[in-house]
Structure 1
């Protein structure tokens, strides 16, 4: 069961440069690709495993050909954070980004998509009850964990509702062609959910 989940943010960084012929008038151009490469290197330094923050530029586009100084480039960025305080700090950094190459313009859009589901004493109590039911009534041991993945539980927790998440199907390899669920676990997971609804 998940008693915490990281929050997520998504940003799109767009850079406008000045196009020119790369062979004839290279000096007249200002490369949006060069600018965005500098920004990408900077935002990746914001990753801090100790505090649980990860920044990933997962998609980059720009330019129209190798013989043209690119006048446009963009990057899409995924950010995961443990706390709302950290989410706001990262958001402020992204919206304060400035270009370093003269002649380029920078636009940043996006922001926090799902607030962190931070562990609370109340969610810990819910887990303890689920663990007790699993052990004494259903014959299996339940483990507490958290994840960098998000769910609708992020929204429930942000509203102040004690939240225990990850109560669905058991499986592995999420979001891959090998993803599966253990059919034999469906009944026992359903029973646990039903008993939790009775208890709460």
Structure 2
């Protein structure tokens, strides 16, 4: 099994396409921006691969689909939404210097999309390949999950082009992740004249934060982290309402069930206080077993490449949970996801594009 190395994967051409995508800002939940971004993604795909890239409308914005024809064998999966608000590009424009490409979304995950397209472009035969680029991965994939799962089942193997792990490694497992919102209802009163007449939602929330934090079991990979809290209106009013937002990461289905049950049974400490909980572990864990076969193919193509389980979630969590072989972290090598120092290492782009082509050939030949 050999890696492809053809003019179709030229670094200059990839950087041109990366600039095109980065310069169309695509913050999640901005339907107009995401429409423009989807059109740009479709344009790059059609220019490099031919055929027609379909825009699939959704409440979140358009997803992009492309097929090389024939019986579906492998799904190339990514997203074009980014976490950066409109205006970020003016402050942090696309730039290539000192071996790095920088700009909003280069690592998460526009660079991966470009590498995937150029890797596929190096194949004379693209039959059996589908591309799906969604518009809402960064905000939970609620509008795209059903489509992702449908195409994963149809194809039977999934290659996910999220950014690589540290050092360029592939992502062979991911924690399940979710967000919970705990709302506390108390009763307002004057903080000076009759504080005892109120039910202090902030004090109740403080009790809940301690209870929630105690649910974590880091020794087995479960983290439960209160991240955002709000309460109160004025400094002389006993707060009647409070809210706590919690990030949860788990490595097993059993822990997912335990955490969801624990949140559902949270009980108030103060007489008269009421608690409501919203949320779930929305992305199931991606077990390392889901990537075993595909990672072995990648190791044969690129000896020495490492695989590792990571804490962050992706759409690969959904496909792996279906039992569909899934390999993640095939995208850009770099770092700084969601941060101002986000970057992509330019000298790795051709190799990663070639890995795409080799994996597709290996899957189709299996």
Query: Where on the TM-score scale, by shorter chain, does this alignment land: which range?
Result: over 0.9
Provide the rounded CA distance (Å) in 2 between the counterparts of 1:42 and 1:145: 31
Structure 1 unmatched runs, 5+: 136-140
Q: TM-score scaled to structure 2, two decimals?
A: 0.52
Within 5 A, what are the aligned runs for 1:1-200?
A: 1-120=170-289, 123-135=291-303, 141-200=304-363
Unaligned 5+ runs, structure 2: 1-169
Structure 1 CA distance for aligned equivalents of residues 305 and 191 of structure 2:
62
CA distance in 1, matches of 2:215, 2:301: 42
SS of the aligned residue for 1:112 comes to: strand
State how far apart, in whole Å, the 1-side matches of 2:318 and 2:349 are. Answer: 25
Give how far 1:64 is off. Answer: 0.3
Per-residue CA distance 1:92-113 (angstroms, 9 max, x = gap): 0000111110011110011121
Instruction: Specify the SS of the correspondent of 2:226.
Output: strand
1:56, CA displacement in angstroms?
1.0
What secondary structure is seen at the aligned counterpart in 1 of 2:229? strand
Output one character per residue of 1:126-165: Cα deviation in whole Å (capped at 9) or x when no partner: 2122011112xxxxx3001010001110011011101111
Counterpart CA distance in 1 for 2:249 and 2:213 is: 12
Higher strand proportion? 1
CA distance in 2, matches of 1:49, 1:10: 17
Q: Distance in 1 between matches of 2:182 and 2:219?
A: 26
Higher helix fraction (1 or 2): 2
Paired with 2:256 and 2:191, the residues of 1 have a C-alpha distance of 40
Measure, in 2, the Cα distance between the counterparts of 1:182 and 1:28: 61
**CA separation in 2, counterparts of 1:99 and 1:113?**
25
Q: Tell me how far apart the structure 2 counterparts of residues 47 and 180 of structure 1 sit (CA, whole Å).
A: 32
Q: Which has the higher contact order (CA 8 A, sep 6+)?
A: 1
Cα displacement (A) at 1:125:
2.4
Task: Please give the TM-score of this superposition, normalised by the length of structure 1.
Answer: 0.94
- Counterpart position of 1:138: none
CA distance in structure 1 between the partners assigned to 2:217 and 2:272 by the alignment: 32
Q: Could you say what secondary structure the match of 2:312 adopts?
A: coil
* Number of equivalences: 194
4+ residue segments displaced more than 2 Å: none
